[in-house]
Homo-oligomer: A and B are copies of this chain.
Amino acid sequence: MVNTHERLRELVGDLWNNYVHHEFVERLKDGSLPMDVFRYYLIQDTKYVREMQKAVIEAASKAPLNEAIDVLTAMFSNVERGAEVHERLFRDLSITEEEVNNTGFNLVNYAYTRHLHYYASLGWPQFLAAWAPCMWGYNEIGKYVVGTKNALFNAWAEFYASGDYWSRVEAILRTLDKYEVTPEIERAFRDSVNFEIMFWEASLRKDPTIFL
C-alpha cells in the first residue's frame, strides 16, 4: 500500500528531481550561487511565506477540526525557530521589513501564491496537495545542501533539515494521507512542483517584481 503523498510523488516522476536538485539548489550546495541572487530569492520567499500562511489558515477554517488543529499546531508551534534563522539572514544581507514590503512579487511568485489561495478556497485536501511540494521539498533540499561551505547557505539549509521543520512536514503529509488521490489533487500537487521549479528559475534570472 502506497500512501497518498508517496503516490503523488511517483505521479510527477522526474519533475520532483528537477525541483529538489535544480541548478539553484546545486549552487547553494557548491557555494557558487551569487549572493545578490540569494538575496533576491530570500525577499521573494518571505513574501511567498506570508501568503502561504494566510492560505493555510483560510484552508484550515474549512477542515475537520482535529486535522486543522494538528496542522496548525505543527505549523505554528516552533515559529520562533524559523524566525531566528530568518533574522540572521536578513541582518547579514541588510534586508529590512520595509524592503520586503516595498518590493513587489515577480510573476511566478504572484501566480504561485494565487494558486495557493485558489486551492484554499476550493477545499482542505486540495489545499494540502497544493501546499505539500513546498514544505516537503524544502526538507529534502535542506538535508542535501547542509554542509555547504557558505555559512549563510548552511544556516538556511540547517533550518529546513531540522527536526522542528520535519515535524511540520510530517503533520501535512499524514493529513494528506487521509485523502485519496483524485485528478484534482494530482493536478494541485503537480502544478505546485512546477511552480517551485519556476520559482528557482525566476530567482536565478532576478525577474522584475511588479505585482504588489
Chain A contact residues, CB within 8 Å of chain B: 50, 53-54, 57-58, 60-61, 65, 68-69, 72-73, 76-77, 79
Contact = CB atoms under 8 A, between A and B. Distances in A.
Contacts of A69: 53, 76, 79
A65 B47 CA distance: 12
A interface secondary structure, majority: helix
10 contacts: A57-B60, A57-B61, A57-B68, A60-B61, A72-B72, A72-B76, A73-B76, A73-B79, A76-B77, A77-B77
A57 B57 CA distance: 7
A83 to B, nearest CB: 10
Contacts of A77: 73, 76-77
A88 B60 CA distance: 29
A4 B166 CA distance: 39
Contacts of A57: 57, 60-61, 68, 72
Which 5 A-B pairs give the minimum distances between C-beta atoms?
A73-B76, A61-B61, A58-B61, A77-B77, A57-B61
Contacts of A60: 57, 61
A93 to B, nearest CB: 22
A79 B68 CA distance: 13
A54 to B, nearest CB: 6
Nearest to A58: B61
Contacts of A50: 65
A79 B69 CA distance: 9
A69 B53 CA distance: 9
A65 B51 CA distance: 9
A24 to B, nearest CB: 27
Contacts of A58: 61
A2 to B, nearest CB: 30
Contacts of A61: 54, 57-58, 60-61
Nearest to A55: B61
Contacts of A73: 76-77, 79
A73 to B, nearest CB: 4
